[in-house]
Amino acid sequence: MKKLKKWELKNKGSHKIEILVEDKHIFYISVLDEKLFRVNVKVNGESSLDRTWSIDPSNDIPWEGRLRDDYSGFELPEFTLEEFDDHLIISTNLMRVTVHQPLWLEWSYRNDANDSWSFLTKDRTTSAYLLDTQGNGAAHYQSRYKDERYYGLGEKTGPLLRNGNRYEMRNLDAMGYNAFSTDPLYKHVPFIITQRENISFGIFYDNLSSCWIDLGNELDNYHKPYRRWQSESGDIDYYIFSGSKILDITKRFVRLTGKTIFGPKWSLGYSGSTMHYTDAPDAQQQLLKFIELCEKHAIPCDSFQLSSGYTSIKDKRYVFNWNYDKVPNPKLMTKSFHDAGFKLAANIKPCLLQDHPRYQEVADNSLFIIDSEENKPEISCFWDDEGSHLDFTNPATIFWWKSNVKTQLLDMGIDSTWNDNNEYEVWDGEARCFGFGKPIAIKHIRPVMPLLMMRASMEAQIESSPEKRPYLISRSGCAGMQRYVQTWSGDNRTNWDTLRYNIRMGLGMSLSGLFNVGHDVGGFSGDRPDAELFVRWVQNGVMHPRFTIHSWNDDKTVNEPWMYPSVIDSIRSAIQLRYRIMPYLYTLLWQAHSDDEPILRPTFLDHQYDEQTFAECDEFLLGRDLLVASVVEPNARTRSLWLPENDHGWYEYDSETWYSGGQWVNVDAPLEKLPLFVRAGSGIPVSAYLQSVNPHLDNSRELLLFPTLGQSTSNGVIFEDDGESWGYLKNNARWINWRLEVTPRKLSLSISSRGDYIPSWKEIIVTLPKKEKRPLYINGTLSHQWKLN
């Protein structure tokens, strides 16, 4: 690689400057808002890829991608440019960059226009930018400091703190991965959060080729400590933005890459799944039996996910092919699920095996990615055979896919698509994609393929049922996938370490803009979990946005809620707890969509002033108010945890015992109990209807109020609608706002609402801790009840 060193100012535009480097490369610095800059390099004046599918500030990205030089959706504030003999300074009111000679950048910030400038970060001064002028990669080096903490990178194993490790973004089908050490995995999110005492900043590398990120694993005696991003191909193109808190950086990243899709309420219910049912020769009978068993064991459930066995011919899988020996009557089967109140999601894959009944049809229509040398469909390994991957940069492929999603799935009664095995392990980097009329080598856009696949599936669902909000699942993807799908941490392996480190994986995804996440509860591969591990996994799983028990156990067993009669009461109780807090969960999903608020939150996200919250731990926050202390060790019947320091303390959810924050506590954790705490001053909306997500039958609403002991003011919101329509866009929803003022002598609760939606429940009952003796006034009246007008 060649170093970029010598430069000269070429041009100052209205929102960017252009620097000529080594007399041939163009180095751009763009000012997008007061705290958001972009740096990109055009090798020999040209981009390797002139489009992006990750940057979406206006939530309207075209199918063919957004032109990299498109600045719509950004504020583009005025900035100043100061020129000196050996450096430039580009400044907004709140952030500035100094361009040094030879080339390296130094960044500064100020939180207020009247404050002095403070150091933010800088490039490595001993060569910062390296290019392969043949287009085979680039590298960016920054200085690294002892007081920095690194987070982000999406779905990664091991500790939540990324310091000292090297990571690779190269989407793989990592079946049975080690949750502590396996890398790479399924997703491509080269986004790094850096935190220091008083400032945080994010860097997102908008390069869609495979890449490596080193955060202190590598040392070189010729350079001071550094960190590195290096790509397999493509250009240097990164966004850097600052904020006082880590939360600011996460929310800014979502606003950069696109808002979280607002799925239907039923998607938050328990979703059953297993490979075993659809692999069985009597798959339809096995599937229908699941409905009976849920009813028999009183297990609440809202959906089931059909694994790919329903598409099999012998022992292989063929997308959009129903095996009518296994499933003789798909429409009758889906009707039975719907009659029982269950939705169905069907697994689909983007690769056709060579002997697929429709392979030649697809090849004749040029819908596959093309081998660059032989000018025929590329051939890659896929599920015990070889096959060709569909090219979603071809509008004809998109049309074919959408047509088949409709006719083969949605018309059969399937409600949702499960977009799986979409890592696109096409290792001929030069394999040619149609590129919407402008051919692109797959090495530049591999993780874009699952993104376009899920978008095609989503549009098919919307076109089929335009009155309903779509729900989709995808395992692989890149930054921006939150616009379309719910995701999960892939094919995990059954053991206690996976339970523990899946928590960190979910938090890492959440910090990286993927808010609607979960895990295969119980473990997907390996032998079945023992009864204790299964209970603890379910207790943890019910506190994630996605709750699915899914398995393909090596010992041919099936993970099901009733698999251990001795603990089924504990399993049922955990799932019922999820349905109890469903109004709270649904409000969190709404806030993730509307306000870019993470649902899963490491404790430091809301308590950054408490240094102890940065220590690696197994607890997390569900929203800002529920502290979940999952038990992740065998034989543990107590749970030690740190209660984050706050002004008013915490309540233990079950016992309603109050604890001050900023201390270690040890609480009982018998097998049947999930330790759960509530922030004092908060209110948790709950329901008494615990059978399913059904707005028509959910006719009660309760607000569990946890007042502070001393004087305070707090507030909250409850979101309600019909659970599946687009009505909220036309005010056909209900936003209930409450405000609590606490004094030593009384509690004053103000409740108001807006919106046209009328729920099945007509009042909210406000419940206080049993030891709370202060009178409660609701809108000025002594009462524990608020009636909906």
Per-residue pLDDT tens for 758-779?
999 999 999 999 999 999 999 9
Question: What average pLDDT score do residues 396-406 get?
Answer: 98
Give, in degrees to the nearest 5, the angle at Cα 422 between 285 and 38.
Answer: 145
**Rounded Cα distance, 155 and 512, in Å:** 8
| Residue 484 counted as domain residue | no
User: How do strand 226-231 and strand 237-243 relate by DSSP bridges?
Assistant: unpaired
Q: Quick check: 641 pLDDT over 80?
A: yes
With respect to residue 725, please indicate whether it lies within any of the assigned structural domains: yes
Q: What is the dihedral of CA 604, 267, 169, 316, to 10 degrees?
A: 150
**Residue 173 tokens, joined:** 């089908």
pLDDT at 111: 79
In sequence order, what are the residues at sequence separation of 6 or more whose Cβ sits closer than 8 angstroms to the Cβ of residue 165? 158, 215, 216, 217
- 96 falls within a domain: yes
Question: Three-state SS string across 115-160, please?
Answer: CCCEEEEEECCCCCEEECCCCCCEEEEEECCCCCEEEECCCCCCCC
pLDDT digits (tens, 9 = 90+) for 452-473: 999 999 999 999 999 999 999 9
170: domain CATH number is: 2.60.40.1760
Whole-angstrom distance, CA of residue 545 vs CA of residue 584: 11
Expressed in angstroms, the distance from the first to the final Cα of the chain is: 69
**Average pLDDT of the segment spanning 12-18:** 96
Cα Rg, the chain, nearest whole Å = 27
Tokens describing residue 302 = 């809202």
* Dist. CA 545–CA 488, nearest whole Å: 10
**Which residue, 232, 257, 282, sits at the end of a domain?**
257
Which residues, at least 6 apart from 236, have a Cβ–Cβ distance to it below 8 Å? 39, 40, 41, 129, 131, 138, 139, 140, 205, 207
The residue among 257, 282, 301 that closes a domain is 257
pTM (two decimals): 0.98
Residue bearing tokens 């019910």: 542
Tell me how long the chain is.
789
Strand order, beta sheet including 343-348: 472-474, 416-419, 343-348, 303-306, 271-274, 546-549, 517-521, 487-488
Cβ count within 10 A of residue 11: 11
Contacts of 135 (CB under 8 A, 6+ apart): 43, 48, 233, 234
Average pLDDT for 388-392: 98
CATH number, domain containing residue 716 = 2.60.40.1180
Is the distance from CB of 139 to CB of 130 less than 8 angstroms? yes
Q: Read off the DSSP letter of residue 383.
A: T
Span 661-712, pLDDT tens digits: 999 999 999 999 999 999 999 999 999 999 999 999 999 999 999 999 999 9
Query: Residue 391 and residue 344: Cα distance in Å, rounded?
Result: 27
For residue 776, being part of any structural domain is answered with yes
What is the DSSP annotation of 662-707?
Answer: SEEEEEE--TT---EEEETT-EEEE-S--SS--TTT---EEEEE--
pLDDT of residue 490: 97
Q: What is the mean pLDDT of residues 139-152?
A: 98
CA distance 734 to 114: 42
Helix (H, G, I), strand (E, B) or coil at 580: helix
- The average pLDDT across 161-188 equals 98
Confidence at residue 134, expressed as pLDDT on a 0 to 100 scale:
77
Tokens matching residue 607: 């308590």
Range 500-510 average pLDDT: 98
- Asked if 513 contacts 542 with a C-beta cutoff of 8 angstroms, the reply is no
Helix (H) or strand (E) holding 536: helix 531-541
* Cα 585 → chain centroid: 15
Q: How confident is the model at residue 553 (pLDDT cuts 50, 70, 90)?
A: very high
Pick from 257, 281, 315: which residue ends a domain? 257
Q: Is residue 654 part of a domain?
A: no
Identify the pLDDT of residue 544. Answer: 98
CA 456 to chain centre: 19
Q: What single-letter DSSP state applies at residue 625?
A: T
Per-residue pLDDT tens over the stretch 404-421: 999 999 999 999 999 999
**Quick one: tokens of 271?**
């979703």
pLDDT of residue 74: 98
Q: Rounded to whole angstroms, how far apart are CA atoms 153 and 664?
A: 30
In percent, the amount of the chain with pLDDT more than 70 equals 100
Helix 568-580 to helix 582-595 angle, to the nearest 10 degrees? 50
Domain assignment present for 216 = yes
| Helix H or strand E encompassing 272 | strand 271-274
Q: How many CB atoms lie within 10 A of CB 122?
A: 18
Residues ≥6 apart with Cβ < 8 Å to 112: none
Q: Tell me the average pLDDT across 583-590.
A: 98
The contacts of residue 19 (CB under 8 Å, 6+ apart) are: 7, 8, 9, 10, 26, 27, 28, 29, 99
Contacts with 520 (C-beta within 8 Å, 6 or more apart), sequence order: 488, 489, 490, 491, 492, 548, 549, 550, 551
The answer to whether residue 766 is domain-embedded is: yes
Q: Average pLDDT, whole number, for the chain?
A: 97
Amino acid 54 reads S
* Distance of alpha carbon 665 from alpha carbon 639, whole angstroms: 8
Burial class (CB in 10 A: 0-12, 13-18, 19+), 628: buried
The C-alpha torsion from 55 through 57 and 59 to 64, rounded to 10°, is -30
- φ, ψ of residue 249 in degrees (nearest 5): -70, -45
Model confidence pLDDT, tens digit, residues 34-60: 999 999 999 999 999 999 999 999 989
* Number of domains within the chain: 2
Average pLDDT for 189-208: 97
Tokens of 175: 């079946």
Phi/psi of residue 241, nearest 5 degrees: -145, 150
Whether the pLDDT of residue 245 is over 90: the answer is: yes
| Strand duo 701-705 + 763-767: pairing | parallel
Amino acid at 693: V
160 within a domain of the structure (yes/no): yes
C-alpha span between 768 and 199 (Å, rounded): 39
- Does the structure show a pLDDT above 80 at 517? yes
Q: Residue 113's pLDDT band (boundaries 50, 70, 90)?
A: low
Domain extent at residue 771: 684-787
- Nearest one of 258, 330, 268 to 57, comparing CA atoms: 258
